[in-house]
Structure 1
Amino acid sequence: MSSRVGSIADKSFGGSYAYRAPNAAVNSIGKSMAMDLKVKGVVVVLMHPGYVKTGLGSGRRIR
């Protein structure tokens, strides 16, 4: 799973550096794996689940 926030091409907003960096790394690894494994007929798929409502973005604490 990845996130659009990790997209290097989509620079529509800044910030969220600590969240963005690992997601960008996942996207980079997935792209490299896809290129390397293409010759073996392996398809690599990175998925973005869309917005998932959690307590992380709500401004409230989860107990």
Structure 2
Amino acid sequence: MGVKQVFEQLDAVCKPGAILASVRHRWIDAIAAFTKRPEDVVSLHFFSPACHAPAGSGTRREDQQ
């Protein structure tokens, strides 16, 4: 199953307003386009190991900048 199919299925089964996240920040615009709720799709990355760097980062989609 590819990324497109995963996000299409998530879009179909998750409640409205649920945040759909991916670590594939370079593809976030394409991933958002696979859903009917692009405003709820985010890129999220946690630094590892978290005990040494308890932080995360996010990336905005092109239409949010």
Q: TM-score range by the shorter chain?
A: under 0.3
**Greater Cα radius of gyration, structure 1 or 2:** 1
Q: Please, what TM-score do these two structures have when normalized by structure 2?
A: 0.25
| Bigger helix fraction | 1
